[in-house]
Amino acid sequence: MDFTDKVVLVTGGTRGIGLETVRVFCEHHAKVILFGSREETVRKAIEQLESEGKQVSGYYPNLNHYEEVEKTIQEIINKYHKIDILINNAGMSANKKIEETTSKEFVDIMNLNVNAVFHMSKAVIPFMKEQKSGVILNTSSMVSIYGQPSGVGYPASKFAVNGITKSLARELAPYHIRVNAVAPGIIKTDMVESLPEEMIEPLIKSIPLGRIGEPVDIANAFLFLASDMASYITGVILQVDGAARN
């Protein structure tokens, strides 16, 4: 899987799954641009990757503001002349019961998890159409299939991501643009690592493969779906969850 000369854009690329995805694509010789929520986090991620010998660039537009996104994408096009792969990974989770969830909290989740995917895709697609090629990959979740006991906004947003994925796959197929999503299960991110051991052990026991997933497991799924090895795959929600089927 050689991504030499491929331009890859990863939102939510400063930590966790996003940062590991940036790292993996760099290791496969892609030109990677990461997006983060703040200048500070973008700079810190770039410094970390550069200390590993990887070259990346970064931006921090407000993904909820289409004009900011559109301006940033134009800057990237002016510099790199194309975008081959867009990975919509930025997102936030929720775990409150519905009666404890404010309308603002629900809207905030939908704004980042859904509207940002729409804004990024809308801004990038015209250039991919001109290229007559491209790949858009979205981060979904296992809860987009099974729901979750609380935090209704998060699965609702990921159900929407699945709908965007399947619909754009059909809309963009005539332009040779593939659209897929990866639905991670329980992954060893900062949030999971901070849980006490008595909470983590039951999680592991619920996973048939007997372990919590690593960010690189998701990054490798993105890598495969972005590669020519997946050239006949579009409109798929790929579950990467160790068979943790609820």
Indicate which residues carry an active-site annotation.
Answer: 154
CB 6 within 8 A of CB 32: no
**Per DSSP, which regions of the chain are E strands?**
7-10, 31-35, 56-59, 85-88, 134-139, 177-184, 237-240
| ∠ CA 57-63-67, rounded to 5° | 95
> What Rg value do the Cα atoms of the chain yield, rounded?
17
CA 82 to chain CA mean position, Å: 20
Enclosing H/E stretch for 146 = helix 143-146
Nearest to 161 by CA among 113, 93, 207, 89: 113
**Pairwise CA distance, residues 166 & 243, whole Å:** 22
Q: What are the beta bridge partners of residue 239?
A: 183
Nearest to 84 by CA among 38, 42, 133: 133
